[in-house]
Structure 1
Amino acid sequence: MQKTTLEQWRMFKAVVDAGGFNQASSVVHKSQSSIHHAVTNLEAALGVKLFEVSGRKVMLTEAGQLLLRRGKYLLEEVSRIEDIADSLSEGVESELRIAVDGAFPQKVVFKALEKVSGIFPQVNIDIVDTVLSGTNELILEGMVDLGLSAFTMNDSLNDEICRIEFVAVAHKDHPLHQYKRELTYEDLKSYRQIIVRDSAIQTNRDSGWLGAEQRWKVGSLRASLDLIAQGMGFAWLPLPLVADLLDDGTLKLLRLVKGGKRSSNFYLNFKDQDKLGPAAREFIGELRFLTLEISDFSG
């Protein structure tokens, strides 16, 4: 038989989060005495001291620090179970929120979502454009249900979905194409490089070669492509995005000795598969099917 209750663990965590019993009282809207009673009973049931008083401050004991970590996990699991129950009771989700890295071929995503909408026309679709770490940050914050990213996530599900090739390109009339030999990174340094800003706020990262003396940062791959197509610089861009402009001659590949092409795996990421509704599951299945035949987006 269990010696503790979820309410006792919630009050324990509330005191830690708020910084004291009085502060916790205002947050959870319970009397200070009831919170103190719950924590005292928890300590008695566990047989350990969770807090010690230092002046006017309430400090966690060493045992309290250890049990806090376990308690947080317990409360998170309960919250997840309740969310899953809500999902099951409600049936089909009312909205499907998907974060998509700008380097992933949008036409594949749109085609998969068209299939989903045909089966679940009542589900609203919310697509969020991201760059680099942006997808995973939105998943961690619970802002989207799932996402497509070039980066895996810790303690989450990362389903490798495809491989995408990035190529170094510039407008056909760019001076870099006037060299009568293969280019080196040293040659690139004197010309403007267009790079895309990470859309994540908490975890910001750069990607690829960033050695040019002049760099312009933009907020999306589409903006980067527009600048490149106007002869404003060079960049490494995903092959699916630039394929048409390469075919019609607007853009040309940079003839680099090395590094002109690079590839990156892309992943379908989500935190908890059990919390995904029928529409999300249908999207995942359709996306896997569509990328099965095109597992490598390269030339």
Structure 2
Amino acid sequence: MRELEKQAIKLHEGWENELVIGVDDTFPFSLLAPLIEAFYQHHSVTRLKFINGVLGGSWDALTQGRADIIVGAMHEPPSSSEFGFSRLGDLEQVFAVAPHHPLAQEEEPLNRRIIKRYRAIVVGDTAQAGASTASQLLDEQEAITVFDFKTKLELQIRQRPWLRLFTTVSGATFSR
């Protein structure tokens, strides 16, 4: 009964029963672990629920009410929304192919005409149709579309397509 009373008091004070946090697929979830622990030390009655978004899908979740807050969105909020945002850092991108891929044998720098000959692996945007973020595909380039960046990397290593790979999040600092 004591726990139920505690929960009722917290809810009366304005604490949510559940907080839905959208996390973009490019964001390293492990960076949230210490914040989750710290949150639960002070707010044990609020259940945290994490959902995944890709590219524009993170903002989509927030604007459509499926998330209360989002972390790691790749782009600024949609101009039609009134949401604010803070930059957490920069995400470095590199062009990468498996060592056995024909592009690995080409002379650098690679030009668009050569790259376009090969199928790319891209991550599908989870935003609803019409609101999706532009991909890194070249005009009329063949592609395989997958559902997250982990799968993209796994497939790129096993197959021969190329991908644009996110390597680091620089400047990301967190405090409670």
Fold-level similarity (TM above 0.5): yes
**2:123 aligned to 190, 196, 207, which one?**
196
CA distance change for structure 1 residues 210 and 119 in 2, over 3 Å: closer, same or farther? farther
Q: Distance in 2 between matches of 1:114 and 1:174?
A: 43
The residue type equivalent to 1:125 in the other structure is L
Q: Which has the larger radius of gyration?
A: 1
CA–CA distance in 2 between the matches of 1:160 and 1:185? 31
Partner residue of 2:106 out of 179, 191, 210: 179
Q: How does 1:75-154 map to 2 (within 5 A)?
A: 89-148=12-71, 149-153=73-77, 154=81
Question: Within 1, Cα distance between the matches of 2:159 and 2:34?
Answer: 32
Q: Distance in 1 between matches of 2:156 and 2:37?
A: 31
Instruction: Name the SS of the counterpart of 2:86 in structure 1.
Output: strand
Whole-angstrom CA distance in 2 between matches of 1:205 and 1:126: 25
- Partner amino acid, structure 1, of 2:84: L
Distance 2:141 2:87 in 1: 35
SS at the partner of 1:107?
helix
SS at match of 1:229: helix
Deviation at 1:89, TM superposition (A): 2.9
Listed as ranges, the matches of 1:1-299 within 5 Å are 89-148=12-71, 149-153=73-77, 154-202=81-129, 203-211=131-139, 213-240=141-168, 288-289=174-175
| Distance in 2 (alpha carbons) for counterparts of 1:212 and 1:234 | 15
Runs (4 or more) in structure 1 with deviation over 6 Å come to none
Q: How many residues align?
A: 162
C-alpha distance 212-231 of structure 1, shift in aligned 2 (>3 A): farther
Structure 1 gap segments, 5+ residues each: 1-86, 242-262, 267-286, 291-299
Shift of 1:144: 0.9
Distance 1:110 1:185, change over 3 A: farther
What residue identity is the alignment partner of 1:237?
A: L
Change (3 A) 1:181 1:159: closer
Structure 1 residues 27-47: Cα deviation after superposition (integer angstroms, max 9, x where no partner): xxxxxxxxxxxxxxxxxxxxx
TM-aligned CA deviation for residue 169 of structure 1: 1.1
Matches of 2:75 and 2:89, distance apart in 1: 12
Alignment partner of 2:91: what SS?
Answer: strand
How much does 1:182 deviate? Answer: 2.6
Partners of 2:107 and 2:133 lie apart in 1 by 35
- Structure 2: which amino acid aligns with 1:140? T
Q: Percent identity?
A: 23
For 1:233 and 1:112, how far apart are their aligned partners in 2?
37
8 Å CA contact 1:193, 1:216 repeated in 2: yes
Structure 2: give runs of 5+ residues left out of the alignment: 1-9
- Residue 116 of structure 1: how far off its partner (Å): 1.8
Task: Tell me which protein shows more helix as a share of its residues.
Answer: 1
Q: TM-score, normalised by structure 1?
A: 0.49
Residues 216-265 of structure 1, C-alpha deviations (whole Å, 9 max, x = no match): 11111111111112134111121139xxxxxxxxxxxxxxxxxxxxx9x9
Provide the C-alpha distance between the structure 2 equivalents of 1:212 and 1:225, rounded to a whole number of angstroms: 22
**Letter in structure 1 aligned against 2:23:** V
